[in-house]
Every structure is written in C-alpha cells, then in structure tokens.
Structure 1
C-alpha cells in the first residue's frame, strides 16, 4: 500500500524555537511528539532564506538559480515541474491548504535594479498561465476562484499575507461564518497593547477569537480534507501551510500573553562585538535613530523589542502546535495514521534577536538558515540525523518514499535511507543563494550573495564588495568572529572559495529544454 503524506509547514521559524530542538521554554508538545517517534534533522538548511524562492525550491527540488524564483516578486513559472504534480500523475490526491506563496501577493512589478536599468523586453518569455492567483487585489472580489490544478495541487484553499489580516479563501470563509469578523481583523481594530513592536505595526493584539484565527481555519480545513480522503481509496499528499509565526505577530486570545517578554532571555549572540560591515550599518542606523522598523525587512532591535518578539513568536507557535494536535487527532480518528507519513518544517528561519537582529535579511546566521525538519513515519523510530540536508532534498525523499520517479533537473538528494536507519552521508556542504529586492544594508544595490556551509566553516561572498565572511563554526558556533581577513585563515578562505565554486558547478541545471522533451 502506498503511503499517504501530511506535511505541515510554518513561516519563518528557527529550529531552536521548538521543544524537540532543545528549547525548554516554548510549549510545542504535538510537534515534539512527532519528533519523539520519528526522524529529526539537526542540520537542515534552506536554499535561500526568503519565502518565495525557498518554497519554490521545496516544490521543485531545485535551487533558485535553476527554477528562476530568485527573490520575492518573481512567480514560479507554470512550466515548472513540482513534486505534487509528479505524485498526482501517479494517482495521488493532492491538496494545498494555507499559504502557498508561489506567486506574488501584489500586482507590483519587481523594483528596477539601480545599476541595471530595466529594458523594454525581458530575456525570458512568460509561460502561459494565470500568474495573479495569489494577488490580494483579485481576492477582494466576492467570488474569486482559482484555476486548478495549481502547481500540481488538484485542490487548493489558500491564505495570503500574514498576521490576522489574511486574504484568499480564508477571508471568503470568514465572511460566511462570521459576518462581523472582518471588523475584528487588522491593526486598526486591535486591542490596546503597550508593546514596542505594536508601535511599529509589527505586532498587535487581535480581536479575532481563537476559533476564527487563520491558523485555526487551516487546521479545520485540513481536518475536513482528511475526512474526505478517508472515504476514498486513493493515496494522498496534503500540504498544510501556516502563515504564522511570521511577523506581524498576532497570536489570539490567551496565546498573546502566554509568554512574558520580561521572562525571555536574550540570545547568547546579542552582545556580539566586531560585526561585519552590513551588520555594523544596521546597528548604526539604530543608534542614529534611523532604524526602519515598519517594513518586512530586518533591523537592529533593542533588548525590549527582542524579548517581545520572542514571547509573541512562542505564543504563535504554541497556538499552531495546538492546531496541529487537532489535525493529528483527526488523522487517528479517520484510521489514516497507520499509513501516513507526517512531516514538519519551516520555509526559513528567523533571527529572533541573534546578533541584535529581528526578522530576516542578508546575513546568513544559523538562526536564519537552519530550519526544523521532522519526518514521522507510521512504523518509524526515533532517530536524529546530524548530516547536512537541504530544502531541495525534501522533494526527492517524498517521491522515493511514494515509489515515484524524480524528474530531470531535480538537484536534491533523497534522505530516505537515513529515515529508514540505513547508511547516509548527507551533503559534504550545502549551498545557499540569495538575491535581494531592495537596496539597504549600506550596499549600493540589492544584495547578491552565496554562502557555503560545511561541517566546520561558513563562507559568504557578496557581489560588488571586496570583503566577505568566514566563520569557524566549531570554535565559534555563534559566528561572532569573522575570519575573512585573518592571516591564519588565509588558506582556509581560499579552500572554501574553491569549494563554493565546485559546489555551484555541481548545481548547474540539467533539466532538458522543452523542445528536447518527447
């Protein structure tokens, strides 16, 4: 019998914010329970620490430089082959519930590069299809409908944006079950709060009840889909995607003050000294009163802001965990648990005060680029894998477990052997690519960078500057001492640069041209 798959993914969570990864404060018993009976990766890394490109990498098993979603605002081509599409072609029922973010949420064009003026024509042709299906403007219409299948999902119910002010199918549902619900959503309707983050619009105490919050809706709809699938004989893949705990933080009800900011310790790296140039720039912006705290971008935060962010992040995660527990009970009640692989991960990490930063940006600290990854198979056993795995490894692993062949151009490596307790080497090093949308950090243009992480070192190279980053992760696990200009590390720097080049070459695209496909 072919296995079913139930995959939970959250938005912007560092691995250290879960009990199963050693956090003694946050309460996530259901996710921890999956880890206690399953496989947990201690060194799972993103292909890029940005929502859209890393989600596209998860779906395709390909690096951003291969699938083309280099940064937010560039939709995944409708010609892309996703692993849900391959599962569906082999008889799997496929369903997406929650955040997708494979297309853009706005109808704005990407910002022009300040040093490369935009031309009238682009160097690539747009593959036919509707690329506005996640655009909020469309969903303001009362009865907007998506075109299905959607990137391999034959059913899709989506949630767009963050916090409690979510659009998409969630908003359509809310209008039907709670007509007054829209008057409770958003910062403008929030309950009073003395939080510093609330002043910048990065958190608000939502009026929406727990039962009508987007995280609860995702659990409700996922449970309903499982009940539907229990009545049929097809195997299934269900992708339950929570927009939280991404900022703005809006945990509902008791989860808002479940954790007290004053009780939250600062990360060990908060008082790190001798920062690299772009971190120094962010800290200087704060000291000069110019820190830009109202956007999605990272900024250097005060101690109070960090403590608030951690407390609210924990509250959001405890609420998500409770809702995951509800879905897992449905899985049991429907008699599906004995043949369903349950996966938990996040699309990328979050600084959460690491080196004084909040949110995410172009500094590849461990808190940002390492994600949780739990795989709980029905007959599995508890096991921790210390070898390095990457986001692009999930697609081939799911396909191998399902008995479905991968496609040309998939760059990930299956870790199914490790899950089964067999010999597994993992990656010698993981490659991380990033291209920014906006110019900040003191750079003259949007950041373009690559990082290579191996068993001991992390190297980061940036386009257009003569400096970089090199950290000895064994002797300096918090990455506080940049060895780029250290004469004692000169040979290591050169060796890592060469390794970065070789790993990049190994990730060159091998997909065939459409004209070459029979």
Structure 2
C-alpha cells in the first residue's frame, strides 16, 4: 500500500495575496514561503468563501459555505454537528494537531451584538424555542476558546478531540494581545508578562504613528509567532517517533492588527519605501465618502475591528509594520521547514499555505476588513507544494475558493469525502463558472445605517456585489480596471454584462445549495 503523505497546513491571518514575494511584491522579504511556491503550485485567483475570520475558517474546516455551516460571522461558533475534514483524516489513521490560532469559537467573552428581543405584545416562547436551531451553540462546549475563562490549557478541557484535532495548543487574539495557551506559556517564561503587553507598556518610538500601532515591549522570543514555531517543531519531533502520517495545522495570528512587530521586525522596513495603492483615496461610494469624512472630523475612533479611512503617512507606516510581521512569520516558517528536513520527513510532507482573508491596506484609502469586497480583501494566497509530485503547473489562474481546501486534502490523502462537502479537488476537477463570497455583518459600521448582507460573484473577468436593502451595488471589469475604481453597475453600456452576471450568480448559488443530509428512505 502506498504510503500516505504528511501535511503541514500553514495559515496566516488577514494576509493579502500581494504581500508575498512570490506574488510579485518586491519589498517584503518572504524567502521561505517563496521557496514553497517555487517547488509547487501557486493560485493567483483564490477567493475566500467569507472575508471574516470565523466564517471562513469554518468553511476551510468543513468545505462548505457559511450559509450552510451556520457560522455566518464572528460570534457564531462552528457547530460540533458539522463534520470536518480533519475528523476524516484522523479516522483514516492520521495524527492531527492544531498549533496557533483556531478561531472556530469566540474568544472575546463579550456579549453578543444581536439578541432575541421579547415582544411585550406577544406571547414569548421559552429560551429553547427562540431559535430555529435547538442546538444553538450557546452551551459550555462552545466556550472553549473564551480567553476570559482560560485558566488551564485547552488540551486539559477536552477529550483529545477538538473538531478532529487530537493535539491542540491555541493562541487567541492578535499582536501582543494574544492569549490562550500561548499566554499561559508566556507567563511561565516571564511571571510579570502583563507588564510588557499593550500600548500602555509600549517602548518609546517615533515615525510610525498610526491607528493601532505601538512598539511592543514583548521580546521576539516571547512573541506568539516564535511560540507557534517552537511548539510546532517539538510536536513534529514527537510525532516522527511514531509510524503514523500526520496533519499539522500551524496557524499564525499575524499579520492581523494591532501593528506591533517585536524586536528587529519593528523597524525592518522603511515607510518611505512603501508605495500607496493606485486607488488610494479614490472612489465615491457612500461608505468611502463617509469614512473619509469621519477621519477628517475625528468622529471615527479607528481603534476597533471596523474598517476606517487612513492618511497617506498612516498607510505607509502600517504597510511597513505589516511587512515586519509578515517577515517574522516567514522566518518562523523557515524554522519548521528546516525541522521537516532534519527529521527526514520533508520528502513526504505536502506543504500548504493560505490565509483566512485579506486587508484593504490602503486600497481606496481604507484599512482592515469588512463590507467592501475589493480584491485585497477577498483574494488570498494559496500555495500547494507536494514533493512526491512534479510541479508541472507552477501558476494556476483557475478560479478557486477556500471551500476547495478540504476536498483537495482529502483526495490527496486517499480519503473519501462526506456527503454535502461543496468544495472541489483542485487537481482533478473543472473550475466553476464563478466564485461566490458571502458576508453577513452583525453591527452597524461607519458609512452604513444598518448591518449589511452582501453577496459577491467573481468570474474570470468581473466582480459584482449585491447588498440587501441598499440602493447602490457594484460591478467592476477586473481585466480593464484591476484596481476597481470604475463602478459599472448603473452604466447603460454594461447592463447586458450585469444581467449575465446576475444569472451566473443565481446558477452558482443554486449549485451551492445543501445536499445534506442524505435521505433515510427511498421515496
């Protein structure tokens, strides 16, 4: 029987595709990720199923759209009733491990933004009947990633099974605010670790002023990126003492904001070398105008998870700091790749690299994510390097989605997928007519008067986004307008294209309707 391959599945967080050397960036240093790309296949049209952390991470785990697995936005955990591809790998004999960021459950401990509101004029049903789902994911089994309750390691609070992972060491949150198992470790190394964390304890700095940016006092050796690499190296060393194939998900919280790379990575890049996006400050869509005005009059706090407008100097500073975070992650990846070589398993280990979503990073003068489906947000890197197979297709321009990851890994492992999986095996199937991106926001943000529901369709040439309850929508010709500055939705000469895209979107959404569960009886 042919030996099953090992998998090293690397994820970053809020990482644009064009913020890697192998994707054409001439400034950021990512030699280790570039090396993986040079020995495998790199997709340049790989789209998220949802541009938010929890929903897209759940889509990667299940191979299903967020409208099906139900984790529509942050704050809704992935239900244990949904099968993950990792569970199938484990059942097939794989050792499975998750080291780093999980975010399949909420970690803030903050109250929900949306709640069931009793109507005093009507009879109010009891709590168990207030949701369409009786198992509405509100029990203690969905509080496992809550940082406010993290008094002992996650591994001690589960039965060796966390969505299919038998080994778990989790880092929650981002930057020097990271918590979870990582924070327990950091406090063991430095009992007064809290004195190093946060803007209030930051080291003095000049020239990098920007929202959510400070020079962290946490040293490189105690930063979460280093911990993830260290723990991954150790787990691999322990795992190779067995004869079982392995699947390791190594998931970094960076380069997500706050922007505080530690040590030498803080000033590794000069803001003066950063180029502003071609679309910087351009665009007259209602939220763009509103966010620019809020920045100018000081009414937007710019210190939370919502998108906000930035100045040119702030953009250059944030880009420089983000590149520092990315290079630190790349250095950590290099250590783990070297460990595979040292342990003698590199020649049978498939290395996969991707991110959960992108970031505006100055596109149209915006920062962060949510609501506006520009390419920098919905298009992410995806790299697959299989040392046992020749890389006869170094660049793939077929449309692909994060829901395809599960199917592709299962197929390569020789494991049959479950009924209802929506993604395709990227190496043995035809590309779809279009990629669909879903987003359901849970709160009102600058430029909007209500939470948004957005559906986007991306084809070989176009991107169209429709919004519930709004009188404006978007349509861009990506071939002639790659920076998405000319909205054609109401253009008289583009109506036939719009109608074709409407039909394509409907057809693709029908294709993505659920085929689970299987029937119990023949009709």
Q: Deviations over 1:308-359 (max 9, x none)?
A: 1100110000000001000001000000101000011110011110110101
8 Å Cα contact 1:269/1:478 also seen in 2: yes
Residue 236 of structure 1 is matched in structure 2 by: 246
Moved more, 490-499 or 42-51: 490-499
Change (3 A) 1:514 1:282: farther
Residue 3 of structure 1 is matched in structure 2 by: 5
Partners of 2:118 and 2:51 lie apart in 1 by 24
| Unpaired segments ≥5 residues, structure 1 | 418-423
Determine if the alignment matches structure 1 residue 474 to structure 2 residue 489: no
Partners of 1:115 and 1:443 lie apart in 2 by 22
Partners of 2:44 and 2:66 lie apart in 1 by 23
Give the 5 Å matches for 1:402-417: 402-417=413-428
Q: Deviations over 1:226-254 (max 9, x none)?
A: 10111100001000000000000121111
| Unpaired segments ≥5 residues, structure 2 | none
Cα deviation for residue 114 of structure 1 reads: 11
Which of residues 392, 405, 415 is equivalent to 1:394?
405
Residue 226 of structure 2 is matched in structure 1 by: 216
Partners of 1:109 and 1:231 lie apart in 2 by 45
* TM-score, normalised via structure 1 length: 0.94
Cα deviation for residue 115 of structure 1 reads: 11
Change (3 A) 1:514 1:242: farther
Let me know the Cα RMSD of the aligned residues. Answer: 2.1
Give the 5 Å matches for 1:33-52: 33-52=35-54
Q: Deviations over 1:273-330 (max 9, x none)?
A: 4x22222222222233222311111101111111111001100000000010000010
Residue 259 of structure 2 is matched in structure 1 by: 249
Cα deviation for residue 270 of structure 1 reads: 0.7
Q: Deviations over 1:36-56 (max 9, x none)?
A: 111100100000110000000
Q: Deviations over 1:104-148 (max 9, x none)?
A: 012334312799989851111126761001001111x25663313
8 Å Cα contact 1:279/1:441 also seen in 2: no
Change (3 A) 1:401 1:375: same
Residue 59 of structure 2 is matched in structure 1 by: 57
SS in 2 for 1:272: coil
Residue 83 of structure 1 is matched in structure 2 by: 85
Change (3 A) 1:436 1:114: farther
Partners of 1:514 and 1:229 lie apart in 2 by 40
Residue 421 of structure 1 is matched in structure 2 by: none
Partners of 1:113 and 1:355 lie apart in 2 by 34
8 Å Cα contact 1:113/1:446 also seen in 2: no
8 Å Cα contact 1:110/1:437 also seen in 2: no
Residue 430 of structure 1 is matched in structure 2 by: 435
Partners of 1:503 and 1:437 lie apart in 2 by 25
8 Å Cα contact 1:350/1:359 also seen in 2: yes
SS in 2 for 1:461: strand
Partners of 2:184 and 2:341 lie apart in 1 by 29
Residue 316 of structure 1 is matched in structure 2 by: 325
SS in 2 for 1:84: helix
* TM-score, normalised via structure 2 length: 0.93
Cα deviation for residue 515 of structure 1 reads: 7.5
Change (3 A) 1:114 1:469: farther
Moved more, 496-505 or 147-156: 496-505
